Structures are given as structure tokens and as C-alpha cells.
């Protein structure tokens, strides 16, 4: 595996490649990330991964400085997966001058759910993904469904800008007890780790209620949040949305059986976890 930090060297290395499959990451890789590499290989060749902790998507009170960085262990994992190139730029490599041009998603999608609680987050995501796509020029790129809203925003962005990159969504990789794998799980204490699957249980409660015909989404969401709160969580949201655009479903949507997804974000101790479940 070649480890490359500069854009020019990356472009030289990939020149003439027409089927590149790309997996962007922020490092601290776990089995969920590695499953994305395997899926990428099914859709293209060579497989290129990136590791870059993107300052633009962190708010002023978020965990940019303490975000887990495990570069050597990540390299070893990627080598075992047969990744061809690891693009690992420094901030100076990727942003040699202040990144004053930004890519902003529409308010209806970028300022709801995660965007409401993390203002500017998706602005940072869209900007760095656009720049990474410009550097790698992949035919396909793989993103995990755990970040459901991010996947939708990136997919819509690629379509509206007519980018020559197909966006592939990978199913959420879960531990045996249901917890979605996440780099932030390492922040959990042993007691919190034992409690963490309750978030997925709350999503299953909402899904079960909806499937049973309890279509008062506000009541079901409120009950699920109350359940988490009673266990010591601090929920930001548990919300039933339409899969097609992540807007709240109308009574007509519910009556017609519109495909739905329930999304959640909540703090357990000092660790904020997100998850979702399609209904």
C-alpha cells in the first residue's frame, strides 16, 4: 500500500485509473470501516482510502483536538484489506490556503436533525468531500448508512453537481448486542458501553410501534426519548422521517405507507452517539 500525503503525488499515482473506488474516513478505523473497503472492492479497482480529520466539520465546542488518531494501527488494517493507496494529507496539504469557498447543502436538509444540533457540520462535510473527490476523482465512493443524513446529502450533492462519482451506501455494521460501530465508542466507559445498545433498542421500539399501526409519530418519539432519559441518557432527537427527503411525514404519507426511517442522537455521559433504522 502506498501512503501519499500530497495532492500532486496522488494524482500522479492515479493517473489513467478509470474505476477507482474511494472510501473517505477520519481514521481510528474499526470493522465498520473495513467493511466499507470490502464493499468498495466489489464496485471498483483500485481501492483508495483517505484519513483526514476535517476541522471544518467540527464546532467550536466539539472534540476535534481529542478525536482519536490511531494512524499506525489504521495503516496495518488497510494493508490487510489490500487497499492500493492511502491518501493521508495534513491540513496544509489539503488546505494550503484558508478554505474560503464552501459547499453548502440546502437548509431543508442541512439544518435539520444533525444540522440543527451541529450548525455548520454539513457545510464542512460537503466542502471536504468535494475537495477529496477532486483529488481522487473516483468512479464510485462508499459511505456508511450509520450517518444516514450525511449519505443523503453527499448523494444529492453528487447528483446536482453532476459529479462523475456514484455514491454507494453501506449497511450499518453492528456489534452483537446491536450497537452501531463508531470511532466515538472508544470514549465509553465499560458501564456506558454496556448501556449503549439502548439507543438501538429505542429505534426498534419506534419501528415496532409504527409497524403496529401507531401512527402518532410525535407520541411515539416522545415515549422513546422518555425511555432513554429515564436510563440516564440526554437525547437530542428521536425522529421519524421520510426516507426520500428526511422531512417529517404527513398523515397522508403515513396512510400511504411511505418508506420511513427513524433517526436518533443522544449523549451517554459525555459521548454523543447517533443511529438510525429504516422502517
Taking a C-beta distance cutoff of 8 angstroms, is the pair 254, 217 a contact? yes
Taking only the tens place, the pLDDT of each residue in 151-165 is: 999 999 999 999 999
Q: Is the pLDDT of residue 65 over 90?
A: no
Give 68's pLDDT tier (boundaries 50, 70, 90): confident
pTM: 0.95
Between CA 265 and CA 6 the distance in angstroms is: 35
Q: Is the pLDDT of residue 138 over 90?
A: yes
Task: Return mean pLDDT, the chain.
Answer: 96
Where residue 160 falls (left for φ over 0; alpha for ψ -120 to 50; beta otherwise) is alpha
The pLDDT of residue 67: 87
Taking only the tens place, the pLDDT of each residue in 39-57 is: 999 999 999 999 999 999 9
Taking only the tens place, the pLDDT of each residue in 209-234 is: 999 999 899 999 999 999 999 999 99
Q: Is 33 assigned a catalytic role?
A: yes
The pLDDT of residue 126: 98
Q: Is the pLDDT of residue 66 over 90?
A: no
Q: Is the pLDDT of residue 137 over 90?
A: yes
Question: Annotated catalytic residue: which of 30, 33, 43, 214?
Answer: 33
Amino acid at each position: 500500500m502506498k501512503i501519499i500525503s500530497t495532492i500532486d503525488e496522488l494524482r500522479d499515482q492515479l493517473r489513467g485509473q478509470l474505476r477507482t473506488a474511494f472510501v473517505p474516513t477520519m481514521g481510528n478505523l474499526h470493522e465498520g470501516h473495513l467493511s466499507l473497503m470490502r464493499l468498495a472492492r466489489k464496485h471498483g479497482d483500485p481501492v483508495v482510502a483517505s484519513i483526514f480529520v476535517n476541522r471544518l466539520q467540527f464546532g467550536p465546542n466539539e472534540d476535534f483536538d481529542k478525536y482519536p488518531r490511531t494512524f499506525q494501527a489504521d495503516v496495518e488494517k488497510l494493508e490487510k484489506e489490500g487497499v492500493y493507496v492511502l491518501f493521508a494529507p495534513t491540513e496544509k496539504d489539503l488546505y494550503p490556503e484558508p478554505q474560503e469557498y464552501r459547499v453548502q447543502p440546502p437548509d431543508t436538509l442541512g439544518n435539520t436533525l444533525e444540522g440543527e444540533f451541529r450548525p455548520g457540520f454539513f457545510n464542512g462535510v460537503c466542502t471536504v468531500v468535494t475537495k477529496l473527490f477532486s483529488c481522487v476523482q473516483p468512479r464510485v465512493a462508499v459511505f456508511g448508512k450509520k450517518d444516514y443524513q450525511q449519505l443523503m446529502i453527499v448523494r444529492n450533492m453528487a447528483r446536482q453537481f453532476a459529479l462523475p462519482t456514484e455514491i454507494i451506501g453501506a449497511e450499518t455494521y453492528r456489534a452483537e448486542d446491536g450497537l452501531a460501530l463508531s470511532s466515538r465508542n472508544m470514549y465509553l466507559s465499560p458501564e456506558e458501553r454496556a448501556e449503549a445498545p439502548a439507543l438501538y433498542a429505542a429505534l426498534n421500539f419506534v419501528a415496532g410501534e409504527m409497524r403496529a399501526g401507531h401512527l402518532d409519530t410525535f407520541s411515539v418519539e416522545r415515549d422513546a426519548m422518555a425511555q432513554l432519559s429515564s436510563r440516564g441518557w440526554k437525547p437530542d432527537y428521536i425522529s421519524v422521517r421520510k426516507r426520500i427527503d428526511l422531512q417529517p411525514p404527513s398523515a397522508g404519507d403515513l396512510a400511504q405507507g411511505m418508506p420511513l426511517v427513524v433517526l436518533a442522537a443522544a449523549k451517554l455521559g459525555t459521548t454523543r452517539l447517533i443511529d438510525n433504522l429504516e422502517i
